[in-house]
Amino acid sequence: MPELRKDPITERWVIIATERARRPMDAGFESERKPQGLCPFCPGHENLTPPEILAFRDGAPANQPGWKLRVIPNKFPALRVEGDLVSEGVGLYDKMTGIGAHEVIIETPEHNLRLSQYTEHGIELLLRAYRERMRDLKRDIRLKYTLVFKNEGSAAGATQPHSHSQLIALPIVPKNVMEELHGSSTYYDYKHRCVYCDIVRQELKDGERLVIENPDYVAIAPFASRHPFEVWILPRRHEACFEETRDDQCGFLAKIFSQTIRRLEKALDHLSYNMTLHTTPFGEGPLPYYHWHMEITTRLTKVAGFERGTGFYINPTPPEEAAAFLRGIKL
Amino acid sequence: MPELRKDPITERWVIIATERARRPMDAGFESERKPQGLCPFCPGHENLTPPEILAFRDGAPANQPGWKLRVIPNKFPALRVEGDLVSEGVGLYDKMTGIGAHEVIIETPEHNLRLSQYTEHGIELLLRAYRERMRDLKRDIRLKYTLVFKNEGSAAGATQPHSHSQLIALPIVPKNVMEELHGSSTYYDYKHRCVYCDIVRQELKDGERLVIENPDYVAIAPFASRHPFEVWILPRRHEACFEETRDDQCGFLAKIFSQTIRRLEKALDHLSYNMTLHTTPFGEGPLPYYHWHMEITTRLTKVAGFERGTGFYINPTPPEEAAAFLRGIKL
């Protein structure tokens, strides 16, 4: 059984996935092991994966070809749904049983398609899959948060070439989300406004760091970008929970996500990136101070060591230059 | 002039190093550009670097061969010592002039030597250089913190092959240090003890996560290790400030640092790692609740994407297994 353990100083929880590695040298992501021959994510190989949790398909039977998108449990999950959530102390330390979910979203049946090559309808299906899985997992009262993320390119940590996203549902709220909740709630106490709403207003007014906008969403290069060409996508109006995105908004969200990625791919050779969805923890309801958003951080491998080693960031590309460059891209 | 900018939500400061990159594609560390031919860190090439700030040499003149260790300003610094520290608002954002220092510690005259191959005396010189530079920079009242770090191996971000450490002195305290100060001070308020002292006591008693110990220091695999084979080195007795390490302790610190790295190199093929020194901010004095320490995190490239994208960690190697494996290594 995997364990969740808390750092007693910073209160950062980590998963110690005891069953995943056999020997010290195996210390990688087994879920993303290089496939030996057959791709388990391709149509016709459904028997190589656990049975699907969700799929978008036109009438075809489950766990058979004919799907457009497919969600499966991770074959080597970091957390498990079965069992009781037990919290206990170990001397001064705290740990918890590794209850949760770990799923893989196979985004497309086509083996070699990158997200930037999907139709907008294809991207809309992906966003709807994120939403449906979050709505479903929210019903499990043991779970406090769902981390949705996508690693594109080997520099970003993707070793399975067939395009996919992942989802990890947790019985705790991750530290980076706690920090955002704390910071935005402090701002709200002082100003009685959502800090993200203020950011959206200022960026639409200044225009300098604006990448693109549409009636429902904006894409900006954040003022204190940690990474070159970092882009955040936010709803223009206050929305705390991603999973409450309405059907009529999904098209605009797909459009801005697609255009952002396509611009980044045109701007940067061999683009690798991480996308993370930041949303309100389950059970918090529509907070007045928190605003869901997507963070897209490109990976230029040279800077990777510094940030990890120090927890500090040096960004050689001012966000104003990155935004201007991305705005100027012809699609 | 580089700028320090604050994220308005998390209060994370980043350096936007406007002068370093010319075009979007240059967005790497110019300071660590691949050398074209001659190695600027080798003896005889002192004219390729800015004049030295500190060197350990036996009588030879400055900026000439004959040194054992040499500290120079970074040729492409992220921050500059010259100028006034000015803080101002930009709408809802905050920024500050990029005042600070960025130095390179050339650890050895030998081009191909890795830290694990130094004599203990060589490592002691390196630790003394960290200490001397911190003592000197502490006198500049504009500076609040010195970040000392070393990236070993290309997976860890080192692109200059000649072994070196870096130091960045900042007019702010980095967020990860603020978090440690906050967490350890909360623990102190509750327990009236230093959390790190409690960790040292518990680890010496349990033994499970202990890697090595000597009369002055311990090396442990932390309970909530983020990375496989993560190791922390801490003074056994309460010490808040690294730069107050006494001469008679330097030998023991060199010994435990050297033995830790040598064990890691024997345990893991193609070892790449980041070392960061965590110490009390300048001007805080000897805090009763904070304890300086070194964090060494190995890099197994497969997991790199996940942590960056999500801010969350999955560690496939329990620290108890890592510690037992490292204890069992014959040097």
Is 50 exceeded by the pLDDT of residue B195?
yes
Q: What are phi and psi of A103, to 5 degrees?
A: -125, 155
Q: Residue B306: its pLDDT value, please?
A: 78
Coil, helix or strand at residue A288: coil
Q: For A300, which of B28, B180, B229 is closest by C-beta distance?
A: B28
Separation in Å, CA of B317 to nearest CA in chain A: 6
Q: Residue A306: its pLDDT value, please?
A: 78
- CB–CB contact B309 A195 (8 Å): no
Q: For B316, which of A5, A17, A305 is closest by C-beta distance?
A: A17
Q: What are phi and psi of A301, to 5 degrees?
A: -55, -25
Assess if residue A294 is contained within a domain: yes
Cα distance between residue B316 and residue B94, in whole Å: 39
One domain for residues B166 and B227: no
A-chain residues within 8 Å CB-CB of B196?
A: 9
Question: What percentage of chain B carries pLDDT values higher than 90?
Answer: 80
- CB–CB contact A309 B157 (8 Å): yes
Q: Which of B174, B189, B223 is the last residue of a domain?
A: B174
Q: Residue B54: its pLDDT value, please?
A: 97
Residue type, A248: D
Contacts of A57 (CB under 8 A, 6+ apart): A66, A67, A68
Q: Which of A149, A174, A199 is the last residue of a domain?
A: A174
Separation in Å, CA of A61 to nearest CA in chain B: 33
Closest chain B residue by Cα to residue A270: B25
Q: What angle do CA B155, B304, A75 make, to 5 degrees?
A: 130
Closest chain A residue by Cα to residue B151: A305
Is 80 exceeded by the pLDDT of residue B214?
yes
The conformation of residue A99, written as its DSSP 8-state character, comes to B
A-chain residues within 8 Å CB-CB of B96?
A: none
One domain for residues A121 and A185: no
Assess if residue A224 is contained within a domain: yes
The set of catalytic residues of B is 164
Q: Residue B19: its pLDDT value, please?
A: 64
Q: What is the mean pLDDT of residues B155-182?
A: 90
Assess if residue B31 is contained within a domain: no
Q: In sequence order, what E strands does A54-202 have? A: 54-57, 67-73, 87-90, 93-97, 101-106, 145-152, 164-170
- CB–CB contact B12 A224 (8 Å): yes
Q: What are phi and psi of A152, to 5 degrees?
A: -115, 125
A-chain residues within 8 Å CB-CB of B31?
A: none
- CB–CB contact A222 B299 (8 Å): no
Q: Residue A304: its pLDDT value, please?
A: 61
Cα distance between residue A228 and residue B24, in whole Å: 8
Closest chain A residue by Cα to residue B305: A157
Q: What are phi and psi of B313, to 5 degrees?
A: -125, 140
Contacts of B218 (CB under 8 A, 6+ apart): B200, B203, B204, B210, B212, B233, B234, B236, B256
Q: For A224, which of B7, B199, B276 is closest by C-beta distance?
A: B7
One domain for residues A91 and A111: yes
- CB–CB contact B305 A276 (8 Å): no
Q: Which of B127, B146, B174 is the last residue of a domain?
A: B174
- CB–CB contact A26 B315 (8 Å): no
Q: For A302, which of B28, B90, B307 is closest by C-beta distance?
A: B28
One domain for residues B153 and B48: yes
One domain for residues A138 and A262: no
B-chain residues within 8 Å CB-CB of A306?
A: 29, 149, 151, 157
Contacts of B298 (CB under 8 A, 6+ apart): B227, B228, B229, B230, B264, B268, B271, B272, B273
Separation in Å, CA of A31 to nearest CA in chain B: 11
One domain for residues A156 and A291: no
Is 50 exceeded by the pLDDT of residue B55?
yes
- CB–CB contact B316 A274 (8 Å): no
Lowest mean pLDDT among A112-121, B71-80, B107-116: B71-80
Cα distance between residue A316 and residue B77, in whole Å: 11
CB pairs under 8 A between A and B: 281
Q: Residue A303: its pLDDT value, please?
A: 58
Closest chain B residue by Cα to residue A271: B25
Lowest mean pLDDT among A223-237, B10-24, B120-134: B10-24
CATH assignment of the domain containing A149: 3.30.428.10
Best interface-test mutation with A: which of B34, B312, B317, B326 has the largest number of A CBs within 10 A? B312
Q: What is the mean pLDDT of residues B181-193?
A: 97
Separation in Å, CA of B287 to nearest CA in chain A: 15
Is 90 exceeded by the pLDDT of residue B52?
yes
* Kind and range of the H or E run holding A185: helix A175-191
One domain for residues B181 and B311: yes
Assess if residue A214 is contained within a domain: yes
Assess if residue A248 is contained within a domain: yes
One domain for residues A233 and A310: yes
Q: Residue A126: its pLDDT value, please?
A: 98
A-chain residues within 8 Å CB-CB of B12?
A: 224, 226, 313
Assess if residue A33 is contained within a domain: no
Computed on alpha carbons and rounded to an integer, the radius of gyration of chain A in Å comes to 20
User: How many domains in chain B?
Assistant: 2
Q: For B92, which of A198, A274, A313 is closest by C-beta distance?
A: A198
Q: For B228, which of A27, A32, A159 is closest by C-beta distance?
A: A27
- CB–CB contact B224 A93 (8 Å): yes
Burial of A246 (0-12, 13-18, 19+ CB in 10 A): exposed
Is 70 exceeded by the pLDDT of residue B32?
no
Q: How confident is the model at residue B302 (pLDDT cuts 50, 70, 90)?
A: low
Residues of chain A with pLDDT under 50: 21-33, 35
Q: What is the mean pLDDT of residues B10-15?
A: 94
Assess if residue A30 is contained within a domain: no
B-chain residues within 8 Å CB-CB of A305?
A: 151, 155-158, 274, 299
Between residues A331 and B146, which one has the greater pLDDT? B146
- CB–CB contact A24 B147 (8 Å): no
Assess if residue B30 is contained within a domain: no
Q: Residue B1: its pLDDT value, please?
A: 81
Q: What is the mean pLDDT of residues B244-252?
A: 97
Q: For A309, which of B151, B183, B325 is closest by C-beta distance?
A: B151
A-chain residues within 8 Å CB-CB of B318?
A: 16, 18
One domain for residues A164 and A130: yes
Lowest mean pLDDT among A15-24, A211-220, B107-116, B269-278: A15-24
Expressed as residue numbers, the domain containing B104 is 3-22+38-174
One domain for residues A199 and A292: yes
One domain for residues A166 and A266: no
Give the tokens for residue A124.
């809309």
One domain for residues A164 and A200: no
Is 90 exceeded by the pLDDT of residue B36?
no
Query: Out of A102, A162, A164, A238, which one is annotated catalytic?
Result: A164
- Express each pLDDT in A104-119 by its tens digit: 999 999 999 999 999 9
Q: What are phi and psi of A15, to 5 degrees?
A: -95, 125
Q: Residue B307: its pLDDT value, please?
A: 82
Residue A182 annotated to the active site: no
* Kind and range of the H or E run holding A295: strand A293-298
